[in-house]
Structure 1
Amino acid sequence: MVPLKSEHIPRATIKRLALYVQILETFSREGAEVVSSETLAKACNVNPSQIRKDLAYFGEFGVRGVGYYVKDLVSSIKQSLGINRPWRAALVGVGNLGKALLRHQDFRRRGFHIVGAFDCDPFKIGEEISGLEVICSRRLKDIVKEKDIEMGLITTPAERAQRACNYLTEAGVRGIINFAPARIEAPDHVHVEYVDFFHHLYAVAFNITLDRQSD
């Protein structure tokens, strides 16, 4: 991992770095070898100074008067974020959302391999989705150890999210992405991120409302 110039890196910076990787990979697929901070900033809807500030947490990048070498910058950011290697994940809650995520091809392409699917519904256990057999959640601890799983995705209904979190933390995962519309309690050493689609829907609805009021 690239040594950090500071341990206090804003969460917003981490999110922007993930966006930079996505945009830079698009540039690379289109054949670009070098990109200026201005071009990258425009594509990411930020200003060039913000990009330079974000990258400065991890070292010096780019060549004055030339720009950034796309493949080198992608590699450096991935190494900085710790995503320059595969990550193995378990998904708990094989409902409609869970099934959609299991079928989502971008997870594997971006280095996140969902290698276990779990549910407590006896009618779902044994079902096969995208090459994975749905396993009873009570077996999660054994499977996590067997498959060296480091993170979990929770896609259960809200009322079952905490139980899913308990299964995952007791199994030894170090990070959880919670898609369920509920807050969960996890040990301090377990990193938890929330994905709530309604937050984005509320934000869009609010901005549309503001636009209408100003018309």
Structure 2
Amino acid sequence: MARHKQTESSNNRVPIPTLERMATYLRLLSDLEAAKVHTISSAEIEKQTGINAAQFRKDLSYFGEFGKPGVGYKVSDLHQRIARILKIHREQPMLLVGAGNLGSALVGYPGLREHKFTIAAVFDNNYAKIGRMLWDHEILDVNRLKEVNERVRARIGIIAVPASAAQEVADRLVDAGVTAILNFAPTILRVPPHVVVRNVSFLQELAVLSYHLEHEEDRPVISSMHQIDGV
């Protein structure tokens, strides 16, 4: 048991793509558990997620031994272990800066609470918003960020402000003790080495989708031209 616990705590050596896939497995397992599915094989996980079964087994191998050959994986056990690996088996308070449309959508998103992520406080620098309620949160002055986090002790911060304000917000979050930032602003943040930043760019994702659409539209035309050339 001691060796097993040590393995699961060594996430700093695990590649980021592996952690991203672990989150995908967790989402699938949550759905399976809700559907009263008790066991699942790596082949079925490949079918459900599109992630190769061998890749799935390799991802799990970073964290110890899972499942039994010929039997598969108990859904509830695998769900609990991956939740512990990703540290979402316990409440994870977060600070949100930006009480606009995106911030409002994030506060109202029920999936956060379902996975034990809770927005503990919401901040903004717009005096027309400060003091008003956003869902069940009072919008606080961003100048109080450090003071509030002395009580909340959140380590995750969410930036939902325009790009021009994002770096200042990141600096405030780091100064308040935040060591992980989810950044929705379309800009690159400069943070100390101990701070992890994950950027969420809608424009970037749409650009990738646009490329794939164009690629798919071109493919039949090219195929047709090749057939004509071959006649």
Q: Which runs of 4+ in 1 moved over 6 A?
A: none
Deviations 1:21-69 (A, max 9, x none): 0001111111101001111111110111010000000011011111000
**Contact preservation (8 Å) 1:161, 1:180:** yes
Deviations 1:91-144 (A, max 9, x none): 001111111101111111111100100000000101101210000000000101
1:3 lines up with 2:14 in the alignment: no
Task: Mark the structure with the bigger radius of gyration.
Answer: 2
Instruction: Give the aligned length.
Output: 215
Q: Which runs of 5+ in 1 are unaligned?
A: none
1:79 lines up with 2:46 in the alignment: no
Aligned to 2:167: 162
Map 1:179-198 onto structure 2 (within 5 A).
179-198=184-203
Secondary structure of the 1:208 match is: helix
Shift of 1:4: 2.6
Q: Which amino acid aligns with 2:217?
A: R
Q: Which runs of 5+ in 2 are unaligned?
A: 221-231
Equivalent of residue 30 in structure 1, options 18, 27, 35: 35
Secondary structure of the 1:149 match is: coil
Q: Which deviates more from structure 2 when the two are superposed, residues 181-190 or residues 136-145?
A: 181-190
Map 1:35-54 onto structure 2 (within 5 A).
35-54=40-59
Shift of 1:8: 2.8
**Contact preservation (8 Å) 2:123, 2:140:** yes
- TM-score, length-normalised on structure 2? 0.90
**Contact preservation (8 Å) 2:156, 2:180:** yes
**Contact preservation (8 Å) 1:35, 1:69:** yes
Aligned to 2:223: none
1:173 lines up with 2:188 in the alignment: no
Equivalent of residue 13 in structure 1, options 18, 21, 32: 18
Secondary structure of the 2:6 match is: coil
Shift of 1:200: 1.2
Percent identity for Structure 1 against Structure 2: 35
Equivalent of residue 140 in structure 1, options 145, 166, 171: 145
Q: Which amino acid aligns with 1:61?
A: F
Deviations 1:151-191 (A, max 9, x none): 10000000000111111111111111100111111111111
**Contact preservation (8 Å) 1:2, 1:79:** no
**Contact preservation (8 Å) 2:161, 2:185:** yes
Secondary structure of the 2:66 match is: coil
Q: Which amino acid aligns with 2:120?
A: V
**Contact preservation (8 Å) 1:2, 1:76:** no
Secondary structure of the 1:4 match is: helix
Q: Which amino acid aligns with 1:126?
A: G
* Greater per-residue helix proportion: 2
Equivalent of residue 118 in structure 1, options 116, 120, 123: 123
CA RMSD, 1 decimal: 1.3
Deviations 1:185-212 (A, max 9, x none): 1111111111111121111110010001
